């Protein structure tokens, strides 16, 4: 049974989607896009975002047909119970892997820029327990937290680039569409993975107060995140050029270092950005951890997800320590994006939609007979 205080509003849904998509990948976004699409990075981001929007709408549409059930429950009606259980377990593992990789990247970046003498294990555990504390109280506090942190994350990042507008060289984007069509297509598909995070729609629909407004929530959140990503990429590639951008691990931090604020009282501007980025990581891992714990509770038919939060922490912690370095962590992220994300954000929604249509047609034929 869903309690009244576990329901989230239209605005909270919109912001929750935005903050879940905006995660650890924001630091390397420009480099990833530049590697895939070169000078046409902005076009790839726009088209990749539109493709991601289409599949987010598709997942939302499927979930809306089962308004009181999460993926664990309604998928059993479409793909049979045993197959549903297997897919649900893999989906839960996917959520946990994402949390662990985001945590590992967060810990390595924080150690490099802010906490040089702090072991990554301590950084991971600190954020993990803080996230677990919020997740215990359900989706409504997670959404309220996202509402509070949203302006703190977005407004400073929008303003911080303005002094460097004169350094942007528009010739870095010209002439447009000089990337070979096949490479551009591959770049668009790779860019679609930059919008990973909307998969939480598989499980959160029953907790949205006005489910009929979900389509609008998805449209608004995607419009905002596409523009935000394009804004950052415009400055990074506009200043460095795509050839230099694709060689850097965290080009966002590099370009921030080069910005000069006359009379600004904070000497190390990248430290401020890391602090803001911490909020982005926190909101992402909270939403993913909640989706994972909720899925487990539905799988084992537990009455509350609360008691399952603590047992997942050591699992996520050990998974976060598997990569030997930040480079290996990014390799794992690429594997997850290429295979698991491809399955859960593109292939699975299409399969579920086709099965749902077949079931509906069979149901109508049976009624007519």
Q: pLDDT for 291-331, tens place per residue? A: 999 999 999 988 888 889 999 999 999 999 999 888 898 88
- pLDDT of residue 180 exceeding 90: no
- Write out pLDDT tens, residues 218-273: 999 999 999 999 999 999 999 888 888 888 888 888 888 877 766 555 566 777 88
Q: Could you tell me which residues come within 8 angstroms of residue 354 by beta carbon, excluding any fewer than 6 positions away? A: none
Instruction: Reply yes or no on whether the pLDDT at 285 is more than 90.
Output: yes
Mean pLDDT of 184-203: 84
**pLDDT at residue 102 tops 80:** yes
3-state SS string over 32-99? Answer: HHHHHHHHHHHHHHHHHHHHHHHHHHHHHHHHHCCCCCCHHHHHHHHHCHHHHHHHHHHHHHHHHHHH
Mean pLDDT of 363-368: 72
Res. 160: pLDDT tops 90: no
Residue 274 pLDDT more than 70?
Answer: yes
Contacts of 134 (CB under 8 A, 6+ apart): 141, 142, 145, 286
Return the pLDDT at 162.
84
Please, what is the angle between helix 71-79 and helix 41-64, to 10°?
A: 80
Distance CA 288, CA 365 (A): 40
- Residue 86: pLDDT band by 50, 70, 90 thresholds? very high
pTM of the model as a whole: 0.91
**pLDDT band per the 50, 70, 90 thresholds, residue 3:** low
Q: Would you state the pLDDT for residue 93?
A: 94
């Amino acid at each position: 049974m869903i309690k009244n205080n576990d329901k989230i509003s239209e605005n909270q849904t919109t912001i929750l989607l935005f903050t879940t998509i905006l995660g650890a990948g924001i630091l390397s976004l420009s480099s990833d896009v530049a590697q895939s699409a070169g000078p046409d990075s902005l076009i790839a981001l726009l088209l990749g975002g539109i493709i991601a929007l289409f599949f987010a709408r598709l997942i939302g549409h499927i979930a809306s047909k089962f308004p009181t059930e999460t993926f664990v429950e309604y998928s059993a009606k479409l793909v049979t119970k045993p197959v549903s259980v297997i897919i649900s377990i893999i989906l839960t593992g996917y959520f946990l892997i994402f949390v662990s990789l985001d945590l590992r990247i967060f810990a390595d970046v924080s150690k490099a820029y802010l906490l040089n003498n702090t072991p990554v294990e301590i950084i991971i555990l600190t954020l993990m327990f803080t996230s677990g504390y919020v997740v215990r109280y359900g989706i409504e506090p997670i959404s309220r937290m996202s509402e509070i942190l949203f302006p703190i994350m977005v407004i400073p990042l929008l303003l911080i680039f303005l002094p460097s507008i004169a350094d942007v060289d528009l010739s870095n984007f010209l002439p447009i569409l000089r990337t070979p069509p096949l490479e551009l297509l591959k770049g668009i598909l790779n860019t679609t993975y930059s919008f990973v995070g909307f998969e939480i729609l598989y499980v959160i629909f029953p907790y949205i107060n006005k489910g009929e407004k979900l389509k609008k929530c998805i449209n608004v959140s995607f419009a905002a995140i596409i523009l935000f990503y394009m804004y950052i990429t415009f400055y990074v590639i506009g200043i460095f050029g795509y050839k230099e951008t694709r060689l850097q691990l965290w080009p966002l931090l590099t370009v921030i270092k080069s910005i000069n604020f006359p009379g600004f009282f904070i000497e190390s501007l990248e430290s401020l950005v890391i602090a803001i980025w911490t909020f982005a990581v926190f909101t992402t891992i909270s939403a993913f951890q909640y989706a994972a714990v909720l899925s487990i509770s539905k799988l084992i038919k537990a009455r509350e997800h609360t008691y399952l939060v603590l047992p997942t922490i050591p699992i996520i912690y050990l998974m976060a320590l598997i990569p030997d370095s930040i480079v290996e962590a990014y390799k794992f992220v690429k594997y997850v994006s290429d295979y698991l994300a491809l399955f859960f954000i593109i292939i699975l929604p299409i399969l579920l939609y086709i099965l749902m249509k077949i079931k509906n047609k069979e149901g109508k034929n049976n009624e007519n007979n």
